[in-house]
Structure 1
Amino acid sequence: MSISPSITGRNALVFLAVVAGGAALYWMRGILTPLAMAVFLAVMIDSFARVLLQRVPRFPKDLALPSAILLSIAMFGLSVWVVTANGASFVGQMRDYAPRLNDVIAQVASLVGVKVAPTIGDLINQLNPTRYAGAAAQSLQNFASNAVLVLIYLGFIIASRRGFSRKIVALYPHHAERDGAMQLFQRIRNGIEQYLWIQTVTGLIIAVAAWAVMMLVGLDNAMFWAFLIFIAAYIPILGGAIGCILPPLFALVQFPHSFWPAVILFAALEVIYFVVGNVILPRMQGDTLNMDPTVVLLSLAVWGALWGVTGMFLSTPLTVAVMLILAQFDGTRWIAILLSEDGDPSGAALDTPPPGAAPKKRGVRAASRQNSIKGT
C-alpha cells in the first residue's frame, strides 16, 4: 500500500506540533496552570448561576451571578472549616499513634523475618526530614502565589464575560461560521459541566457511604477522611486508589492488636468504589464524554507530568476540550478519533446540557443572531 507524501508530511507536521505544544505547556505551566484553574472555576460559577435561574422560581436574573459567587465562597469556607476543625485533632492524635505504629511495624517485621524491628523514630531519622523542609516551604509558597493568581484571573474572567458574545460576532461575521464556533463552545462548556456534575454526585455518594462504614468500624476522624475521599474523587483512577488505601492503613495504626477493622474497611471501600464505578457512574455518564478508558488513564499521566496535581485534577475536562477542538480540523481529526471511545469525536451528545443545568431554550443560530444584533 502506497502512502501519499502529502499525508506523511501532514502527519509528521501534526506530530511535531503536538510535541512543541507539550513543551510550551510545560514551559509556561506557571502562567497557564492558574489560568486554566480560573477558567474551570468560572465555568463552575456560571453553571451555578444558570441552575439558580432554572430551579428557583422567579429568581432575579441580575442576582444569579452574585449569588453563585457567594455560594462558591461559602462552599470554599465550609471546606476550609472541615479541614481545620478535623485536621487539628488528627495531628494531635498522631502523637498518640506513635507507640501503636511501633507495634504494627514490629508485627510486620516478624512476618517478613526481621529480628530487630525499627521504630518510627529510627525511620524518621533515616529519612532526614530536615532536608525536605526547604522543598516543603517552597511548595507552600508556590501554592499561596498560585491561589492569588487564580483569584485574580477569576475576577477578570467574570468581569469580562459580558463582552464574549460581541467578540464572537467580531471574529465570525458570517452566521455559518458563528454557529459552528458557538456550538463548539457550548459542547466544551457542557462537557466540563457534565464532568463536574458526575464527579460531584459520585464523590458525594462515595464519601457518605465511606463515612458510614468508618463510623461503624470506629475509625477516628471519619469526617476528615470522608472529606478527603470526596476531594480525591475529582482525580480519575488515582483518587479511588487513595480513598481505598489510606483509611485502612490508619485503621491498622488505630487498632494494632487486630487486623479485622482494616480488612473490613478495605473490603467495604472496595465494594463502594466498585458499585459506583461500574453501576452508577456508567449510567450517569452514558456516552456524553465519549472518552476511551485508556485515554483517561493516559491523560491523567500526561497532564500530571505537565502541570502536576492541577493537571491531574483538570485532566478529563482538558482532554475533552482538546478532543472537540481537534475534531474540527481535517488534519487533526484522526487524533480526535483515537481519543474518542466510539470513533465519533464530534461531541454531538454534549448538545444536551447535563442534569441540573439549564436547558437551551433556543437554537444556536437564534442565539448568534441575537448576539449579532447586540453587537451592532
Structure 2
Amino acid sequence: MTISPSITGRNALVFLAVIAGAASLYWMRGILTPLALAVFLAMMIDSFARVLTERVPAYPRNLALPTALILSILLFGLAVWVVTANGAGFVLQMREYAPRLNGVIAKLASLVGIKVAPTIGELVNQINPSKYAGAAAQSLQNFASSAILVLIYLGFIIASRRGFGRKIVALYPHHAERDGAMQLFQRIRNGVEQYLWIQTVTGLMIAAASWAVMMLIGLDNALFWAFLIFIAAYIPILGGAVGCILPPIFALVQFPDTFLPALLLFGALELIFFIVGNVIYPRMQGESLNMDPTVVLLSLAVWGALWGVTGMFLSTPLTVAAMLILAQFEGTRWIAILLSEDGDPSGDSLDSPRAGSPKKPGQA
C-alpha cells in the first residue's frame, strides 16, 4: 500500500495548522475567553427567547428577546445572591471549624500510624498562604475585568444579531452555498442548545436531590453546596468528582465525633450521580451529540489547558462545533471522524431544533 505524497503533505499541513491554532488560542486567551462566554450566553438567551415563542404562541415575538434577557439577568442575580448570602456564613463557620478540623486530622493521623498529628495552624504555616495572596488578588481582579468584558461583548452581540442574515447573504450569494452555511450554523446552535438543556436539567436534578440529602443529614450551608454542585455539573467528569468529595469532607469537619454522616452523605451523593449519569443522562442525550467519551475527556483536558476553568465549562460545546466544522472539508474530515462516536460526524441528528428529545411512538 502506497501513500500519495499529496495526502501526506495535506495531513502534515493540517497537523501544523492545528498546533498553530492551539498556540494562537492560548496566546489570545485573554481576549477570546470573554468573547466565547459572551457568544455562549447570547446563544442561551436566543434559545430562551425561541422556546418562549414556541411554548407560548400568543406571546409577542418582539418582546421575546427582551423578556429572555431580563429573566437571564434575574437568574444571574439570584445566583450571585445565593453565593454572597451563603458564602459569608460559610467563611465565618470555617473559623469555628478549626478546633474540629484539628480533631479530624488527629483521627486520620492515628489511622495511618502518625503519633504526633499536625494542627491546622501548622499545616497553614507550611503552606504559606501569603505566597499565594498576590496571585489570588490578581485572579479576582482578572475575573472582575473579564465579567465586564463579557457583558460588553454580550451587549454588542445582541445588538448586531439583526444584521446576521444580511451578512450571510453577502458572504454566500449563491443559494446552495448559503443553505449549506445556514444548515451548519443551525446544527452548531442545536448542538450547543442540546448540551445546555441536558446539563441544566440533569444538574438541577442532582442539585435538588443532593440538597435534600444534605438537609436530612444536617450539613451546614446545604443550599450553598447544592448551588456549587449545580455549577460543577457543567464541567464534564470533574464536576461529578468535586460534587461527591467536597461535601463529605466538610461533613467530617462538622461532625468530628463520628464518620457516619460523612459516609452516608458520600454514599448518597455517589448513588445520585450514578443514577443521573448512567440512567437519565444517556436517555436524554441519545445519539445527538455523537461524541466519543474519550474525546469528551480529552477535550476537557485540552480546553482546560488552553483557557483554564472557562475552557472546561465550554469544552464540550466547542468540541461539537469544531467537529461539525471540520466535517465540512475533505482535508479535515478524518479529524471529525475520529472525534465522532459512530464515525459519521455530519451532524444529521442535529437538524431538528429539539435534537435528542424523546421521540414519539412511530416517529422516525
TM-score, normalised via structure 2 length:
0.97
| Equivalent in the alignment of 1:329 | 329
* 2:288 and 2:350 in contact (8 A); partners too: yes
1:143-162 correspondence runs (5 A): 143-162=143-162
Structure 1 residue 354: deviation in Å? 2.4
User: CA separation in 1, counterparts of 2:62 and 2:328?
Assistant: 35
Structure 1 residue 356: deviation in Å? 11
**Number of residues paired by the alignment?**
357
User: CA separation in 1, counterparts of 2:36 and 2:87?
Assistant: 29
* 1:203 and 1:234 in contact (8 A); partners too: yes
User: CA separation in 1, counterparts of 2:260 and 2:355?
Assistant: 40
State the 4+ residue runs in structure 1 displaced beyond 4 angstroms.
none
User: CA separation in 2, counterparts of 1:340 and 1:198?
Assistant: 19
Is structure 2 residue 189 aligned with structure 1 residue 189?
yes
Structure 1 residue 91: deviation in Å? 1.0
Deviation string 1:131-182 (CA, Å, 9 cap, x unpaired) is 1110001000100111111011100000000000000001111110011000
Deviation string 1:26-64 (CA, Å, 9 cap, x unpaired) is 001011100000000000000111111111241111111
User: CA separation in 2, counterparts of 1:165 and 1:356?
Assistant: 27
| Equivalent in the alignment of 2:49 | 49
Gap change, CA 1:355 and 1:73, over 3 Å in 2: farther
Identity of aligned residues (%): 83
| Equivalent in the alignment of 2:287 | 287
1:198-347 correspondence runs (5 A): 198-347=198-347
User: CA separation in 2, counterparts of 1:181 and 1:311?
Assistant: 26
Structure 1 residue 220: deviation in Å? 0.7
| Equivalent in the alignment of 2:83 | 83
* 1:197 and 1:354 in contact (8 A); partners too: no
User: CA separation in 2, counterparts of 1:352 and 1:277?
Assistant: 24
| Equivalent in the alignment of 1:365 | none
Residue identity matched to 1:352: S
Residue identity matched to 1:227: F
User: CA separation in 2, counterparts of 1:70 and 1:354?
Assistant: 24
| Equivalent in the alignment of 2:360 | none
1:28-67 correspondence runs (5 A): 28-67=28-67
User: CA separation in 2, counterparts of 1:141 and 1:96?
Assistant: 29
Residue identity matched to 1:148: I
User: CA separation in 2, counterparts of 1:117 and 1:282?
Assistant: 46
* 1:51 and 1:356 in contact (8 A); partners too: no
Structure 1 residue 355: deviation in Å? 7.2
* Structure 2 runs not aligned, ≥5 long: 358-364
User: CA separation in 1, counterparts of 2:309 and 2:294?
Assistant: 20
* 2:246 match: secondary structure: helix
User: CA separation in 1, counterparts of 2:352 and 2:253?
Assistant: 48
* 1:252 and 1:262 in contact (8 A); partners too: yes
Q: Relative contact order (alpha carbons < 8 A, sep ≥ 6): 1 or 2 greater?
A: 1
Structure 1 residue 85: deviation in Å? 1.1
User: CA separation in 1, counterparts of 2:229 and 2:78?
Assistant: 16
User: CA separation in 1, counterparts of 2:220 and 2:140?
Assistant: 27
* 1:197 and 1:355 in contact (8 A); partners too: no
* 2:153 match: secondary structure: helix
User: CA separation in 1, counterparts of 2:355 and 2:78?
Assistant: 24
| Equivalent in the alignment of 2:362 | none
Deviation string 1:320-373 (CA, Å, 9 cap, x unpaired) is 00000000000000000000000000000001112799xxxxxxxxxxxxxxxx
| Equivalent in the alignment of 2:96 | 96
* 1:292 and 1:341 in contact (8 A); partners too: yes
1:345-360 correspondence runs (5 A): 345-354=345-354
* 1:191 and 1:320 in contact (8 A); partners too: yes
Structure 1 residue 315: deviation in Å? 0.2
* 1:299 and 1:316 in contact (8 A); partners too: yes
Structure 1 residue 88: deviation in Å? 1.3
| Equivalent in the alignment of 1:371 | none
TM-score, normalised via structure 1 length:
0.94
User: CA separation in 1, counterparts of 2:141 and 2:220?
Assistant: 31
User: CA separation in 2, counterparts of 1:5 and 1:355?
Assistant: 41
Residue identity matched to 2:139: S
| Equivalent in the alignment of 1:73 | 73
* 1:219 match: secondary structure: coil
Residue identity matched to 1:144: A
* 1:314 match: secondary structure: helix
RMSD of equivalent CA atoms: 1.1
User: CA separation in 2, counterparts of 1:57 and 1:321?
Assistant: 30
Residue identity matched to 1:273: F
Residue identity matched to 2:316: T
| Equivalent in the alignment of 1:363 | none
| Equivalent in the alignment of 1:117 | 117
Structure 1 residue 96: deviation in Å? 1.1
Gap change, CA 1:62 and 1:194, over 3 Å in 2: same
